[in-house]
Structure 1
Amino acid sequence: MATTTDLAEVTFVVNAWGQAAGGIWPTFTVRLDGVDIGTATAATANQSRYSFTAKVAPDQAHKLQVIYTNDGTVNGVGRDLYVKSIEVAGKTMTPTASGVTYDRFELDGKDVIAGQEGMWWDGALNFGLPATWFPAPVSTTPPPPPAPVTTSTTITVNASADMAKGVGAHFKLMVDGKVIGEATATTTAKAYSFTTNLTAEQAHKVQIQYDNDYYANGEGRNLYVKSVAINGKSFDVTGSGASFDRGALDGKDVLAGTGNLYWNGTLTLDAGKDYFPATTTPPSPPAGTKPVTITVDASADMAKGVGAHFKLMVDGTVIGDATATTGAKTYSFTANLTPDQAHKVQIQYDNDYYANGEGRNLYVKGVTIGGKSFDVTGTGASFDRGALDGKDVLAGTGNLYWDGTLVLNAGKEYFPGSTTPPPAPTPPMVSVNDLSLTEPGTTIVKGGIADGYLHTEGNQIVDSSGKAVKLTGVNWFGGEGYAFVPNGLWADSYQGHMDKMMAQGFNLIRLPYSDAMLDNGRSPNGGIDYSLNPDLRGLTSLQIFDKIIEYADKIGMKIMLDHHRSGDGASANENGLWYTDQYPESVMIKNWQMLAERYADNPSVVAADLHNEPHGAATWGDGNRATDWAAAAERIGNAIQSVNPNWLLMVEGIEIYQNNWDWWGGNLMGAKNEGIDFNVDNKLVYAPHSYGPGLYQMSWFNTNDFPNNLPAKLTESFGYLYKNDTAPILIGEFGGRFDDAQERAWISKFVQYINGDLDGNGTKDIAANEQGMSWTYWSWNPNSGDTGGILMDDWKTIDQTKMNHIKPALYQGTDTEVAGRTDAVFTVSLSKAATQTVSLTYATADGTAKAGQDYLATSGTLTFAPGETAKQVKVTVLGDSVAEGTETFSLKLGGAVNAGIADDTGLVTLWNHVAGQSQAASTLMAVDSASLATDGGYDGLLLIDPLQDAA
């Protein structure tokens, strides 16, 4: 009988794979001579090795059992275990070998069949292992295996991302399945470096695992791997050694290598042993030589995700290599060279590429040799295009559009014999200040619309607090021409007009303009009493719009800009289209984008009426670029959204659709089959015009069932879009004089309809928390010949008769508590002006204050041009009414190029809002940090005087 000391340790290997059912893989136990020695789960459809170790008596036969324990079927799919073979000390036995049996179900010896690979039922494969497989161990002690030689390996992943919901693309860097590090890529391309120790002179799998893919509502998160370098050597992510395992890392959905990761998955690079050379002690410099540092400042046009590769040579000997990318970077190389002697410095570009309009190019922006600059376009430089053979030699250039060698004939003055190296230039250092501020608390919006931008949900317009609201306003024309300024400024100040509008309950001004108004700094053509409007003296028409919008923001009024016509004049374009020969669509779009950028930071501007009253030749959805207003509206709206995604976009109808006539801009029947679709969702509002019989006797005004026929007619024209919950409706123009019974009957039924009584039976057909259709009445001005205005002819008195007709449709808001906002303004500073461009990244990071609750997360890149020393980063701080104590978050700096970082963290301390304090009292005042000897290390401090009201 063997004693414990006689036993030999033996490894048993089961080669197996599995089939899952219901998300659960097969599990098995290995039993040796009746004793369990281990359990495993075959969690892959690929054959894998499962090892178990036990001490066994030598020179004896043994019985090994592979016991399957969790057979099952889920939705018609069976869970099964497949055993290919077992291995012991290099010897193999298959389940189909002679003497192997399969005891199915209970291990009772009753349902025993011949052995087989597929274990389709619970049970045990029984292997009889002969004594010859277990020889007694040789008594001599074998020498220990040599320790593997390791090398310090640096892997650099140059990546960027499409962000979604404010979050970048997260990835892990693994080698041979082991996580080395992780990072989150943002929109700015950045090089992420990871260092680990790996076995030298051996191939390894480098794996980039993307794990937070997202797509919803047209917003997608993607990871772009632009290049990978292993120990400084570039690896082609699209080459034969690369593959992309989409989804789980299971070998099932394997695609060709790619740098564009549109799904979760793992980019695997099979890197050969040449990427992992053994680390050796560098030889001593040859006698009579000196180390010289050569720097190459370079960037590249990338192609197929790969940058421009170049080698740095001196006198034909390769010193090193690098791969330049889109961001300018300085690459340093050191060579041992004979001093007081001229040398040829050669930059050899070797991976030029051009196909399908995509070209790779290398740009050498500067070269220094021993700290001394060399002009790559000067007389000492030349470019040997193609092979380095002296045949196609051009003048020196920094723009390498072809493979070739830039040769710099550096004289001996670049290689002095002095042993004292010149001092290295000191780069500027970057720092960011700390801040302290009081949370802005909350504000009660009484009966109005919360600050911030609006969006749509179904047929409702929703404010920043999440409440359904209604825009009910007035048209104030004149800016479109001929005066190029809203009318009536000869009778009252613009503030006086706007205060009167607010007093009547209006919350929106539709402010018409023309392309002509924006021509070459156009100024008003009279129409202003400067004694009433002294702050408008000397301003252009656009600057007067600035003043009106600035005052709207102050009093809580909303603004909708209206492209009323192209040239100067009144009413819509005479050709019925949105452009003219003098002002083509391109000019219209350019002007819209200018306005969208100009007012991007003023949330009182909430909407853009893309064009006023398409009619006549205007069509809807027929594909004719010259007349199709629906297609043009999408082009114009998407152009606006490319620079300002926050505005509501108003799309009017046309006049004639399939022989159905309506008011100019009032016919939206075509939207049923050809709806508008902007790039940014939840911003579309349809904005038809609709008038009464005082303007024109439409056929529906002269029927026996007028005005009871109006709800059906309005629903046919545009109301079905609201009724079907497709989109909100804002009636851009309606109005009249209401001086006869027919017109009064019309306005009564019309107001009833837009207020939510869609069938005209006297009761609203919308939910209590929903709003009816929005509108802007035509007009505030009394000088509209067809309708008159809310103002009477003296330009001061309100026409109460008109107000009484439309007052039931005014927005009746409820009080709402909304979060206040203020800005934490960081100053990022350079210690001195740089002589070359400096760039760095920034991103907010949570402390006890949390993004989305206490502040809005932000990230990006700062760029300092030569000579600049300061940049600002604004982070929006959110208020609340909860006493949370002091909270903190920070702004982190990183990725500095051409600069060092002295202070990479700006800390924000948020003090609790003082109950009852106005938001104006949270105004921040910068204080010189030198006067704050006990500021706890803050670079700067913002103090708040709770008694001071900024208003």
Structure 2
Amino acid sequence: MPANLSLYPDAELIRGNVTVPFHPRDRLFSPPLSTRGRDIVDRDGKRIKLVSVNWYGASDIYMVPGGLDIQNRTKISRTIRELGFNSVRLPYADEIVRKNPVVEAELLTANQDLVGLRALDVYAAVVRTLTETGLAVIINNHITQARWCCDGYPCDMGWSNSDLGPLCPIRQTEEDWIQDLITVMEPHIDNPLVVGVDLRNEVRGFAGRFLWDSWASAAEHAAERLHRLEPRWLMIVEGVQSANDIRGARDRPIRLTQQNRLVYSSHVYGWSGWGSLVPYWYRTYKSFAEDMDKNWEYLRETDTAPVWVGEIGAPNSPSRRDYHYWKNLMKYLRKCDADFAYWAINPRKPKSDATETYGLLQDDWETPVYDYRLLDMAALRQK
């Protein structure tokens, strides 16, 4: 049953409330970024709240950020900034590092200067364009095999799948994963607006505490190697069980040699709620907030470290349960004032060109979907 959104204004009024005029030379903050207790701060010590959006595609079957066949990357970047976002989470798959194919020309129709380039070069060009527009970029190792994420396929559930042998078409050791991170990050050492790296998306499995301990050690290994390249990068470490759960950091925190560069990350969707038979679609606000408090907000409440809620999202035409989750999430994020990233800017998914119901742009990759989501997120960024 559809949600009742009658209390929201029409699209034109929402547009007026969410649009942020800007000049590309206007800087949103002074890099590099670091951490101070629960906050991310810039060079001047000013708190910087990451208000981010995900732009996917390089993690999927075509190995290229979405929309480059429809709209020039500069226009997409400017639209993102006009919507009030200050940063972009840009996922990639390990497979694009291993194969690095020449991107098909038909996927780059609106970006002719990129035709003939390989996947990593196209990815790097998109990063440069985003930062030239004044947006910060968080590079994200999203998945091993280039495909839609995430499910129970064992080859993509963690940073390494070497224990699974020939079962996996893209085989990966921990060292392979780290080398891929280095390969992707190295071109951006001198770009101050590439502010950090989200080391791995949605690590998941069936042994929560054991999984966290293993993941924490692997994340530390990767972070230390990357900090040899650029010690000022933020190292973003997601929780386990599809990034829902960072409780393990209470007893086994991430420890980095480089101080004040650690950010934890959680993902919160309507279907989330590992360890419970009741997903967040159906939780009371009290139950929802209790989960957030114990899963990750304790890190901020104790002034231990920042937490970036790296994926949230809801459909443009929500059901009652979708909106119930969204309303609870917005209430909680208003209360705690955590950094966040919306999934996603994309209007369509790569496979079968299916509609991305969570998308914030129409099919032209230019016209925003002015609805309840943009209005509610504008209130979060203005807090």
TM range (shorter): 0.7 to 0.9
Give the Å deviation of 1:544.
1.3
CA drift of 1:529 comes to 3.8
Q: CA deviation at 1:472?
A: 0.7
**Cα deviation, residue 792, structure 1:** 2.8
What SS does the aligned partner of 2:285 have?
coil
Contact in 2 for aligned 1:564/1:572 (Cα 8 Å) = no
- Structure 2 counterpart of 1:776: 341
Structure 1 residue matching 2:293: 3-state secondary structure: helix
1:685 is aligned to 2:263: yes
- The 3 A distance-change label for structure 1 pair 566 and 618 is farther
1:896-915 deviation per Cα after TM superposition (whole angstroms, max 9, x unaligned): xxxxxxxxxxxxxxxxxxxx
Distance 1:447 1:694 in 2: 38
Deviation of 1:746 (Å):
2.1
Matched residue, 1:725: 303
CA contact (8 A) 1:638 1:679 kept: yes
Aligned residue in 2 for 1:517: 96
CA-CA distance at 1:750 after TM superposition: 1.1
Over residues 388-417 of structure 1, what are the superposed CA-to-partner deviations in whole Å (9 max), with x where a residue is unaligned?
A: xxxxxxxxxxxxxxxxxxxxxxxxxxxxxx
Specify the code of the residue in structure 1 equivalent to 2:178: I
Structure 1 pair 610–713 and aligned structure 2 pair: CA distance change class (3 A): same
Q: Deviations over 1:876-926 (max 9, x none)?
A: xxxxxxxxxxxxxxxxxxxxxxxxxxxxxxxxxxxxxxxxxxxxxxxxxxx
Change (3 A) 1:791 1:479: same
Distance in 2 separating the partners of 1:694 and 1:788: 16
Please state whether the residue corresponding to 1:665 is helix, strand or coil. Answer: coil
Change in CA separation of 1:702 and 1:504 when aligned onto 2, cut-off 3 Å:
closer
Aligned to 1:634: 220
Higher alpha-carbon deviation: 668-677 or 565-574: 565-574
Match of 1:580 among 161, 168, 187: 161
- Aligned partners of 2:51, 2:45: CA distance in 1, in Å? 18
State whether structure 2 residue 377 is matched by structure 1 residue 798.
no
Opposite residue 615 of structure 1, the aligned amino acid is R
- Give the equivalent residue in structure 1 for 2:75: 496
> Is 1:599 aligned to residue 188 of structure 2?
yes
In structure 2, the partner of 1:754 is: 333
Contact preservation (8 Å) 2:238, 2:266: yes
2:266–2:308 CA contact under 8 A, matched in 1: yes
Task: Give SS of 1:611's match.
Answer: coil
Aligned to 1:651: 237
CA apart distance, 1:613: 0.3
Match of 1:559 in 2: 137
Instruction: Give the secondary structure class of the aligned counterpart of 2:236.
Output: strand
- 5+ residue gaps, structure 1, are 1-443, 656-663, 759-771, 813-951
Instruction: Output the CA distance in 2 between the equivalents of 1:791 and 1:715.
Output: 32
Distance 1:684 1:445 in 2: 29
Matches of residues 844-923 of structure 1 in structure 2 within 5 Å? none
Q: Say how many residue pairs are matched.
A: 342
Question: Is 2:120 the partner of 1:542?
Answer: yes
- Pair 1:790–1:515, CA change in 2 (3 A): same
- Specify the SS of the correspondent of 2:32: coil
Please say if 1:450 is aligned against 2:39: no
The aligned counterpart of 1:616 is 205
Q: What does the per-residue CA deviation read over 1:260-295, in whole Å, with 9 as the maximum and x for residues that have no partner?
A: xxxxxxxxxxxxxxxxxxxxxxxxxxxxxxxxxxxx
Structure 2: distance between partners of 1:580 and 1:555 = 37
TM-score, with length taken from structure 2: 0.82
Give the strand-richer structure, 1 or 2.
1
Distance (Å, rounded) in 2 between the aligned partners of 1:445 and 1:502: 9
Quote the offset at 1:775 in angstroms.
1.3
Instruction: Give yes or no for contact 1:607–1:647 (8 Å, CA) kept in 2.
Output: yes
- Whether the 8 Å contact between 1:613 and 1:652 is mirrored in structure 2 is yes
Distance 1:788 1:702, change over 3 A: closer
Q: Is the 8 A contact 2:103 2:116 kept in 1?
A: no
How well do the aligned residues superpose, as a CA RMSD in angstroms?
Answer: 2.7
Provide the C-alpha distance between the structure 1 equivalents of 2:356 and 2:249, rounded to a whole number of angstroms: 29
Whichever residue aligns with residue 804 of structure 1, its letter is: L
1:685 match: secondary structure: strand
Taking structure 1 as reference, are residues 506 and 685 closer, same or farther at Cα in structure 2, changes over 3 Å only? same
Unaligned runs of 5+ in 2: 1-22, 163-170, 350-354
SS across alignment from 1:782: coil
Q: What amino acid sits opposite 1:609 in the alignment?
A: D
Q: 1:487 aligns with which of 58, 63, 66?
A: 66
Q: Match of 2:235, SS?
A: strand
Q: Which has the higher helix share?
A: 2
Q: Distance in 2 between matches of 1:630 and 1:527?
A: 41
- 3-state SS of paired residue (2:132): helix
Q: How far 1:725 moved relative to its partner?
A: 0.9
TM-score (norm 1): 0.34
Flag the structure with larger Rg. 1
Taking a change above 3 Å as real, the CA distance of residues 638 and 776 of structure 1, as seen in their structure-2 partners, is same
Distance 1:447 1:774, change over 3 A: farther
Whole-angstrom CA distance in 2 between matches of 1:748 and 1:481: 30
